[in-house]
Amino acid sequence: MEIGVQVIFQSYGYPEGFSDQQVVDEEIHLSVLADELGFDALWPVEHHFEDYSFCPDNTEFLAYIGARTKRIKLATGAVILPWHTPLRVAERIAFLDSLTGGRVIFGMGRGLSRKEYEPMGIPMDESRERFDEAAPMILDALETGFVEGDGKFYPQARAAIRPKPSRSFKGRASSVAMSPDSAVQAGKLGVRMVLFSEKPYDQQYQSIDLYRQSWREAHGSEPPAPMICDFTMCHADAGRAEELAREHVGGYLASVLHHYEIASDHYKTMKGYEHYGSQVDTIKKLGFEGMYERYLGVQCWGTPEQILEKYAKRREALGPFNITGCFRYAGLPLEEAEKSMRLYAAEVMPQLRKWAAEDEKAA
């Protein structure tokens, strides 16, 4: 079981006058702390333009963090492929891996916000095709040291990746897969599936099952356990944990609804986002209060014992899984985020390590 920390660079929910520089400084502090506490991987996002999240180049951030840390894996969570050329992504990932001694996990995604697509000047309804064309080009380049393609969006004469990748990325690549078509594509590509907790796991299991079927059909083997991302609050006092979760995990949900416009009808006509369009009416019917309670119900917050109980139910429903927890979000003060990380590392991680050993023995 890999236990990671997600870094989202959010200023939404923080006091007026809270500067972008403060956001960056706090995320650096927690990223270095994650290495010291024994977390396995760090997952900074790629987002642009808004208080919701801003990290325009997670490879650049990871290069800096790689020099500040000793052992933690450095994962892009994720590079949004339609916003880049395959050549430049492959170069940056290979160079980052060279700089950091092979600590890189290459995570990719295709993006969901028209608030980011429009300033990029890239039609959002091309995202599915762009991702499906770019992803295999990049994965091949990271194995062979050469990138080439003759597709619609990225015609590329054969070019060398320098420094040449010196280690295979098989087993070190992942893709965000929050829709059924993305789950199927992750399986075809042979990369680990990454998903965010957003609805009950009996519903999310459907996408995980599609991923597993796709992997088996494409590769004739069993896929790795999925990576599941939570917004985490770990506190010794159950009442205080719930108070903080209701305010700040709920605040994060509000930022999601604002940034992605999840209840907007534009998804109904957006090519490549049919899954999201089919959910719009359900979301409108639920309303914010309904979504708020559902969202809180699937995040892992509470005392260490309560968090482990939630993980145990998830494990029973899904089988083995990996975890990435986000500890700083939606106005949560740095000191509370740090206390949460420290307690989680001291009292939750040891039990997760025991489960991982049990799963490995059973396999």
Average pLDDT over residues 179-196: 96
pLDDT > 80? residue 184: yes
Encoded tokens for 105 = 């996990």
Of the candidates 228, 178, 200, 195, which has an alpha carbon nearest to the alpha carbon of residue 297? 200
The pLDDT value recorded for residue 201 is 79
Cβ–Cβ contacts within 10 Å for residue 254, how many?
Answer: 15
Q: Write the CB contacts of 89 (distance below 8 Å, at least 6 apart in sequence).
A: 79, 81, 134, 138
Predicted confidence (pLDDT) per residue in 192-245, tens digit:
999 999 988 778 778 999 999 999 999 999 999 999 999 999 999 999 999 999
Give dist(CA 107, CA 98) in Å, integer: 17
The pLDDT value recorded for residue 362 is 82
Predicted confidence (pLDDT) per residue in 5-58, tens digit:
999 999 999 999 999 999 999 999 999 999 999 999 999 999 999 999 999 999
What is the residue-wise DSSP string for 161-203?
-SSPP-S--TTSEEEE--SHHHHHHHHHHT-EEEEE--S-HHH
Predicted confidence (pLDDT) per residue in 127-171, tens digit:
999 999 999 999 999 999 999 999 999 999 999 999 999 999 999
Average pLDDT over residues 261-287: 90
Looking at every residue in the chain, the average pLDDT score rounds to 96
The pLDDT value recorded for residue 8 is 98
pTM above 0.85, yes or no: yes
CB contact at 8 A, 257 and 263: yes
Q: Write the CB contacts of 48 (distance below 8 Å, at least 6 apart in sequence).
A: 54, 56, 116, 119, 120
The pLDDT value recorded for residue 286 is 87
The SS3 assignment for 358 reads helix
The pLDDT value recorded for residue 255 is 96
Q: Look at the block and give the residue holding tokens 């997600």.
A: 6
